[in-house]
Every structure is written in structure tokens, then in C-alpha cells.
Amino acid sequence: MDLSFLAGDTISAAKQLLGKYISTETDGIVTGGYITEVEAYLGADDKAAHAYQLKRNKKNEMMYRDYRTIYVYTMHGHHCMNFITKDEHHPEGVLIRAIEPVTGIEVMKARRGREHNLTDGPGKLTQSLGVTRDVYNGTRLNEDGVSISDGKTPIEIIASKRIGIDNKEEAVDYLYRFTVKGNPYVSKDKVKREDNNGWIE
DNA sequence: GTCAGGATTACCT
DNA sequence: GGTAATCCTGACT
């Protein structure tokens, strides 16, 4: 599919990613699902972003690539996956925080070592999809192991505060987290599940 | 070599 | 909702 929407405004790119079908092929096994939760990170002026004030180091180097680049970082022993937007002068990206599992659910259960909560958090979905930093950091969407394509369309998108950035001053209050209203496969919130998980039709 | 710092998770009350 | 577990990365007060 056409990924040029990732080259534009990061906030609207984040919203447009909701509902897209994401899949990975790890060790020859395909797993995938529909994106239900994302967060935007805006670089230079965003205190919560790894690239705040254009800070640049080995860890966040991939944010200074052009759109379609995948940025994977590790923390607390978990991996988190971002899609980079814009270009090398604007280190912005979208953190994929949760998906609705569709393909390879049995494999996800095996990788997670549990039956439920397979993909409702940034560290959980990378584990289910087999995404690790050593293999996926710096790879490119629809060229390497990670693919996205058209999937579902949300009936309504909810904007809320980002998770896990409690010490980032005013950036704490930015409404840069976007979820599909009524979809149960999101982190933190205990949402009221709606018909068809909040997707159109 | 050492050490502090996380865009987390899971399990407790 | 609170907190312990966990653990890799990167910089070096």
C-alpha cells in the first residue's frame, strides 16, 4: 500500500495507523493483527520524546532516518516498536502500543507463555510478533520483515494522555495517545467493549 | 568494569 | 493503584 501518509504530520499519521493490518515474519512464521493503540512522539519540542531538543545518540539514531524506517528500542527487558515519520531533519515517530491479534494466535500464546493479554501493550505485542531489536531495528516497512496494509476503520478515535512518562513536565498532558473506541485490545484502560470491537461494519 | 536509567509487565492488596 | 522484578544499553559523575 501507499505509505506516503507517514511522511506528513505525525499526529495524523498516528491516527491513520489505527486499524491498519500489521504482520511480521519471524523465523518463517507469520503473525499479525489490527493496530488498536498508538502514541505520537514529536522530537525537538516534545520532552517525552527520545529525540527531545534533537538529542541524538546510538540508541535513537534510527529516528533520524526517513519515514518507513522501524525504530526498536529495549527497556526493562522488553522491546518497543516505532514507525518513523517525516525525514532525517525531523526525528518523529509513532509508537505501536497494542494490536488486535488475528494471525498466528497459537504462536503468540507460545511466545508469550500465556493464553490471554497477548498484544495489549508495547512490550507484549513485540514479544507476540517476535520483534527484537537486533533483528528489526532499522529495517523498513513493507521491504523487510514488517508489513502493513489496509485493515479496518475505527468508528471513533479517542485521544488521551500518553502512558509511562510521568516525569516529563508539560509533555505529560499532551493528548498524543490514540485508541479505537470500544476495542478491548488496548493497554491500561478497562474499556467498555463495543459491537465489532469498535470497527466500522 | 561499573552503574544508573528507563515510551514495561505482572502480580500483589 | 502500588510495586517488585528484570535487564539491556550507553555513558563514564
Res A167: pLDDT: 83
Res A96: pLDDT: 98
Return positions of chain B under 7 A from a protein CB.
Answer: 5-10
Whole-angstrom distance, CA of residue A104 vs CA of residue A145 = 15
Res A190: pLDDT: 77
pLDDT-derived band at A8, boundaries 50, 70, 90: very high
Straight-line distance from CA A137 to C1' B13, in Å?
39
Nearest nt (C1') to A71 (CA)? B7
Segment among A19-23, A67-71, A162-166 with least mean pLDDT: A162-166
Nearest nt (C1') to A114 (CA)? B10
Q: What is the DSSP string of A87-138?
A: -TTS-EEEEEEEEEEEE-HHHHHHHHTSSS-SSSSHHHHHHHHT--HHHHTT
- Whether A76 shows a pLDDT value over 90: the answer reads yes
Class of A4-188 per CATH? alpha beta
Straight-line distance from CA A143 to C1' C4, in Å?
40
- Whether A117 shows a pLDDT value over 80: the answer reads yes
Q: Report the share of chain A in percent with pLDDT over 70.
A: 100
Considering chain A, what is the average pLDDT of its residues?
95
Return positions of chain C under 7 A from a protein CB.
Answer: 5-11
- Whether A127 shows a pLDDT value over 80: the answer reads yes
- Averaged pLDDT for residues A94-106: 98
Q: Considering only the C-alpha atoms of chain A, give the largest distance between any 2 of them, rounded to a whole number of Å.
A: 45
Straight-line distance from CA A147 to C1' B12, in Å?
39
Res A113: pLDDT: 95
Res A166: pLDDT: 86
The answer to whether A102 touches A32, Cβ cutoff 8 Å, is yes
- Averaged pLDDT for residues A111-129: 96
Straight-line distance from CA A197 to C1' C1, in Å?
27
Res A191: pLDDT: 83
Compare A168 and A26 and report the one with higher pLDDT: A26
Straight-line distance from CA A28 to C1' C11, in Å?
37
Q: What is the pLDDT of residues A141-192, one digit of tens each?
A: 999 999 999 999 999 999 999 999 988 889 999 999 999 999 999 998 778 8
Nearest nt (C1') to A48 (CA)? B7
| Domain map (residue ranges) of chain A | 4-188
Res A201: pLDDT: 83
Within 56-85 of chain A, which residues have Cβ less than 7 Å from strand C? 57-59, 74-77
Strand C contact at CB of residue A188, distance < 7 A: no
- Whether A53 shows a pLDDT value over 90: the answer reads yes
The answer to whether A160 touches A118, Cβ cutoff 8 Å, is no
